[in-house]
Each structure stands twice: as C-alpha cells, then as structure tokens.
C-alpha cells in the first residue's frame, strides 16, 4: 500500500476532534493488519471505539467502502478475521 499520508480517511465534519482521532486510529490498525500485522486486542479495542463514533451499520458500511476504494483493504474482513480467531494474537492479512 502507499503512504498513509495519501489516504483520505472517511470522516464526518460533525465529529469532534477526539472522535476523528478514534476513527483514524481504527483505520490505521486496519492498515497495519495488511502491512505488518496488528495486535488482535488493539484492533478490536479500536473497532469498539470506532463503533462508539459510528453506531449505525449503514454508516459503518459506507465508511468501510470509502476506505476500501482508496486502499484496497477491507476493514470488514480484518474485523471478521479478528473476531473469528480468538487464538491468534496478531492479525495479519494477505
């Protein structure tokens, strides 16, 4: 993947600075899962924080789609993999 600075993270102008930071941290964890691997608990914690900001499933799907269109990385598949594989400490996508 390219430089993280080139990624336009899907955010809303209605969010507070803290909420934006939480969403960006989640998408950074998704990127890490593809680039080098990410601690499973860290990823799931960041996903829970993301869901506090984006509780709507429809809105979540739109943000995931926007992110995937830019990066080719599926946040949905990263979270699904982390949830289904409790025995794995580090989530690394191929």
Task: Report whether pLDDT(25) > 70.
Answer: yes
Domain membership of residue 53 (yes or no) is: yes
pLDDT of residue 5: 56
The Cβ of residue 82 has, within 10 Å, a number of other Cβ atoms equal to 21
Domain membership of residue 65 (yes or no) is: yes
- Structure token digits, residue 65: 């789609």
How do residues 46-72 score in pLDDT, each as one tens digit? 999 999 999 999 999 999 999 999 999
pLDDT of residue 67: 96
* Dihedral sign for Cα atoms in the order 93, 61, 28, 86: negative
pTM of the model: 0.91
Q: How many domains does the chain have?
A: 1
Domain membership of residue 10 (yes or no) is: no
For tokens 């400490």, the residue is 89
Domain range for residue 32? 15-91
- Bridge partners, 90 (sequence order): 39
CATH number of the domain enclosing 36: 1.10.220.80
Which DSSP string corresponds to 4-18? GGG------TTS-HH
Residue 38 phi, psi dihedral angles, 5° rounding: -140, 140
């Amino acid at each position: 993947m390219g430089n993280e600075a080139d990624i336009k993270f899907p955010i809303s102008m209605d969010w507070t600075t803290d909420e934006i930071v939480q969403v960006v941290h989640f998408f950074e964890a998704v990127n890490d899962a593809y680039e080098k691997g990410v601690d499973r608990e860290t990823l799931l914690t960041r996903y829970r924080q993301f869901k506090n900001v984006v509780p709507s499933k429809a809105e979540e799907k739109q943000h995931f789609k926007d992110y995937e269109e830019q990066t080719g990385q599926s946040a949905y598949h990263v979270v699904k993999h982390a949830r289904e594989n409790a025995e794995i400490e580090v989530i690394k996508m191929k």
